[in-house]
Amino acid sequence: MQKALTFIISKLLGSYINVLGYISPKKATALAYKYFSEPKSGRLVNEGLPDILKEAEAQMITHGQFVFQMYTWKGDQNVILLVHGWESNASRWEDLIAHLKLSGSTIIALDAPAHGLSSGTEFTIPRYAGFIDIIVRKHRPQSLVGHSIGGATILYYQAHYPNDIIEKMVVLGAPCDFNTVLDNYAGMLSLNSNVFLMLKKHFLDNFRINTDNFCGDLFASKLNVRGLLAHDKDDAVVAFKEGKKIADAWPEAVFIVTEGLGHSMHDEGLYKRIYSFLLG
């Protein structure tokens, strides 16, 4: 029932935006972008934090007009930074954190823009990468781990903020082509080509993002750090071919193909592979 209702609401919204696109293009573009960039879930409140986050040292960090939440599980000089995906938060790493803590490493996780306890209502990869850069410059993690859009973000980050601090990267279930993400969104709302092109222009005008060239495989081709890339054949959110494109472009990456894990990629065996890669 809930899925049917969501489907109907999405189609009605898309129809309204399509009509608005001919009457008031600016309003139509703004509305289309709003629903694309604002996560509908993944928020947290201080009074109801998951136990794994209560165990960490929490810190709010200011970045321009934004603040973002960082969590630290203190350990030794080996630092690992965890970067979650869309409509999630730092607590999604609970099972992996349990494995990584066995190494004695310092583990850091953050809440993305408009997620968890971080401020804002709008998510963008460049803004997320800006948050990551603050942590990298200050805490100098040797390794980055990203899931889904978080995986795409660390690829973007390392390609646009090249440094010799990061030595290893783990990317799980990440999308490759931004145009594919936009296509899926347009399909969900049944947006017409007129609105789709206006939305692409919005990214170019406001973020200097040419969606045709905003691709994980392009970012990966610029990397010279060792990588572990995993994607599940049964991922219904991000197609397997997306991960394969990134793997083919990343010269220093090992590609792990999993089955039956879906998009979440939660699995003891995979966590052991990640542990061995990061700490072996």
Tell me if residue 170 falls in helix, strand or coil.
strand
Name the percent of the chain lying above pLDDT 70. Answer: 99
Rounded to 5°, the CA angle 145-250-128 comes to: 40
Average pLDDT, the chain: 95
Written out in words, the top-level CATH class of the domain with range 38-177+215-279 is alpha beta
Give the tens place of pLDDT for each residue, 216-232.
999 999 999 999 999 99
Give the helix ranges, DSSP H, for the chain.
2-23, 25-37, 51-54, 94-100, 125-139, 149-160, 178-189, 193-207, 216-220, 240-249, 268-279
pLDDT of residue 63: 85
pLDDT surpassing 80 at residue 1: no
Q: What is the pLDDT of residue 68?
A: 96
CA distance 239 to 252: 22
Q: Is the pLDDT of residue 179 over 90?
A: yes
Question: What is the sign of the dihedral through the CA atoms of 87, 134, 216 and 79?
Answer: negative
What is the model's pLDDT at position 93?
Answer: 98
Look up tokens 């321009």; give the residue.
64
Q: Which residues pair with 61 in a beta bridge?
A: 68
The number of beta carbons lying within 10 Å of the beta carbon of residue 158 is 24
Intra-chain end-to-end CA distance of the chain, in Å: 48
Residues 147, 265 contacting (CB under 8 angstroms): yes
- pLDDT exceeds cutoff 80 at 237: yes
pLDDT, one tens digit per residue, over 32-65 is 999 999 999 999 999 999 999 999 999 999 988 9
pLDDT in tens, 146-177: 999 999 999 999 999 999 999 999 999 999 99
